[in-house]
């Protein structure tokens, strides 16, 4: 009988929830659209920006070019570089992003190099804007021009002394990638995807959780249902299952959307750079997706139960939203940490909720399955989930919570 009641409550709440526009948007529209927008959008924008910065050409100011006439001509003739006349305010111009870099040659630069005397105190200064993309490009270009020039000077000096240039390179280094494209992609984007799915899991559950608790209080249906022939336990369970359904559907939809997006991405996006290619080569294995999904389930249970318990405290929709925003931040922080490069699962991190799932999902998506850790994390998040469920169940039994004045 009780199971039957739970079923009746669940079906009604689900129908009710699916007729709520806010829920539909957060549960269906957002997860389906977010992945393609993010992946197509971010990738294309990044690639375009990088390419635009490259093709646009860099404005370079040469200070003391009279000391380096040969190099000055070379820089001027270099593709993508526009040399502008020297001016006093070059620092301000770089800061204002009107000028990419300024190169300062010391007095007697080329003539001293020519004579071959000790010139190790010669310093060519490149003024740039640290962290600014286009300034960094210009810096790199200038560095490479100067390096080539230096190599030529070295070569000439060696020749003058009748030595071969080979003595400078007794051996070569070759970098060879052994990680599969899956793993490379996993490292590049793997941190972001679990983060997004975890956040969607939470936001997908948020509106139904508020609607089914504080919403009932606000609309005055709570008395109606509490005086009806249904046990509090069945009512709480039915509501919980509805919120869980919303949370899990959000996760499933976002995973599906992600899969389709990654499958279609190479067909639609013109990818110029190597980095872009790598981004899309990140193919997810089916087993990886299933495993991530399995890890997300206890998290979804925890979110649903916690959201219900918190929202039940509130008297109105608005109040519930203000109670829930700290929870959002609480979830956002650990899952954001997992995106940071270099963060890896450790013995301690296995026990930190949200972060553990986020990190293990990153591993799984890049094809690394550490079964002992996976089992431990599943266990620990199940324990947290059970705790949250217990709190929610208690809240539904308490008059002071149901009828807070």
Partner 1 sequence: MIITENLTKIFRDKKRGEVRAVDGIDFQCFPGQIYGLLGANGAGKTTTLRLLATILQPTSGTARVAGYDLNTQPEMVRRNIGFLSTATALYGRLTARETVEYFGRLGGQNGSALAERIEEIFDLLGIQEFASRRCDKLSTGMKQKVSIARTLVNDPDVMILDEPTVGLDVMTSRTIVRFIKDCRSRGKTVILSTHVMSEAEKLCDTIGIIHAGKLLAEGSLEELRGKTGLDDLEEIFIRTVGLTE
- Contact positions vs partner 1 (CB under 8 A): 1, 5, 8-9, 12, 15-16, 19-20, 219-221, 223-224, 226-231, 399, 403
Minimal distance in Å, beta carbon 26 to partner 1? 16
Minimal distance in Å, beta carbon 388 to partner 1? 25
* SS3 assignment, position 101: strand
- Closer CB to partner 1, 148 or 224, in the complex: 224
| Contact (Cβ atoms closer than 8 angstroms) between residue 31 and residue 200 | yes
Minimal distance in Å, beta carbon 212 to partner 1? 11
Q: Please give the helix or strand (H or E) that residue 47 lies within, else none.
A: helix 42-56
Minimal distance in Å, beta carbon 213 to partner 1? 14
Minimal distance in Å, beta carbon 218 to partner 1? 10
CA distances (Å), origin 14, targets 8, 207, 225: 10, 12, 16
- Closer CB to partner 1, 15 or 318, in the complex: 15
Long-range contacts for 385-390 (Cβ within 8 Å, ≥24 apart)? 385/298, 385/299, 385/301, 385/302, 385/305, 387/302, 388/301, 388/302, 388/305, 388/306, 388/309, 389/240, 389/301, 389/305
- Closer CB to partner 1, 208 or 288, in the complex: 208
| Contact (Cβ atoms closer than 8 angstroms) between residue 83 and residue 61 | yes
Contacts of 343 (CB under 8 A, 6+ apart): 337, 349, 359
- Supply φ then ψ for residue 104, to 5 degrees: -115, 125
- Supply φ then ψ for residue 356, to 5 degrees: -60, -45
- Closer CB to partner 1, 131 or 229, in the complex: 229
Minimal distance in Å, beta carbon 30 to partner 1? 20
| Contact (Cβ atoms closer than 8 angstroms) between residue 100 and residue 135 | yes
Minimal distance in Å, beta carbon 226 to partner 1? 5
**Rg (Cα) of the chain, in Å, rounded?**
30
CA distances (Å), origin 289, targets 196, 197, 254, 292: 14, 11, 11, 5
- Closer CB to partner 1, 170 or 220, in the complex: 220
- What is d(CA 155, CA 134) in angstroms, rounded to the nearest whole number? 32
* SS3 assignment, position 79: coil
- Closer CB to partner 1, 20 or 132, in the complex: 20
Minimal distance in Å, beta carbon 400 to partner 1? 8
- Closer CB to partner 1, 369 or 403, in the complex: 403
- Closer CB to partner 1, 78 or 232, in the complex: 232
- Closer CB to partner 1, 26 or 338, in the complex: 26
Minimal distance in Å, beta carbon 228 to partner 1? 5
Map tokens 């870099």 to a residue. 101
């Amino acid at each position: 009988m009780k199971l039957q009641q739970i079923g009746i409550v669940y079906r009604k709440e689900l129908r009710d929830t699916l007729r709520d526009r806010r829920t539909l948007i957060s549960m269906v529209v957002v997860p389906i659209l977010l992945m393609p927008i993010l992946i197509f959008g971010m990738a294309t924008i990044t690639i375009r920006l990088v390419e635009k910065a490259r093709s646009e050409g860099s404005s370079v100011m040469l200070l003391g070019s009279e000391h380096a006439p040969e190099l000055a001509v070379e820089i001027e003739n270099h593709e993508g570089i526009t040399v502008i006349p020297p001016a006093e305010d070059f620092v301000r111009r770089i800061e204002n992003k009107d000028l990419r870099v300024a190169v300062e040659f010391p007095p007697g630069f080329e003539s001293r190099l020519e004579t071959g005397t000790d010139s190790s105190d010669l310093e060519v200064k490149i003024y740039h804007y640290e962290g600014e993309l286009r300034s960094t490009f210009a810096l790199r270009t200038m560095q490479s021009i100067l390096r080539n020039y230096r190599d030529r000077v070295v070569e000439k000096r060696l020749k003058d002394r009748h030595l071969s240039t080979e003595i400078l390179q007794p051996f070569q280094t070759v970098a060879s990638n052994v990680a599969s494209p899956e793993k490379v992609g996993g490292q590049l984007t793997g941190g972001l995807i679990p983060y997004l799915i975890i956040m969607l899991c939470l936001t997908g559950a948020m509106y139904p959780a508020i609607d089914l608790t504080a919403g009932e209080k606000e609309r005055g249906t709570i008395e109606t249902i509490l005086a009806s022939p249904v046990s509090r336990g069945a009512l709480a369970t039915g509501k919980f299952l509805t919120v869980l359904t919303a949370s899990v559907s959000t996760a499933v939809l976002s995973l599906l959307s992600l899969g389709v997006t990654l499958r279609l991405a190479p067909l639609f996006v013109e990818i110029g750079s190597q980095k872009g290619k790598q981004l899309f080569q990140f193919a997810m294995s089916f087993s990886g997706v299933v495993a991530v999904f399995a890890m997300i389930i206890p998290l979804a249970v925890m979110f649903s139960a916690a959201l219900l318990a918190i929202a039940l405290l509130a008297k109105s929709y608005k109040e519930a939203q203000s109670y829930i925003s700290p929870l959002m931040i609480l979830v956002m922080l650990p899952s954001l940490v997992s995106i940071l490069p270099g963060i890896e699962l450790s013995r301690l991190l296995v026990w930190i909720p949200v972060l553990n799932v986020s990190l293990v999902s990153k591993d799984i998506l890049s094809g690394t399955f550490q079964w002992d850790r996976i089992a431990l994390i599943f266990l620990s998040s199940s324990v947290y989930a059970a705790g949250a469920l217990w709190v929610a169940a208690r809240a539904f039994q308490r008059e002071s919570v149901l009828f807070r004045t």
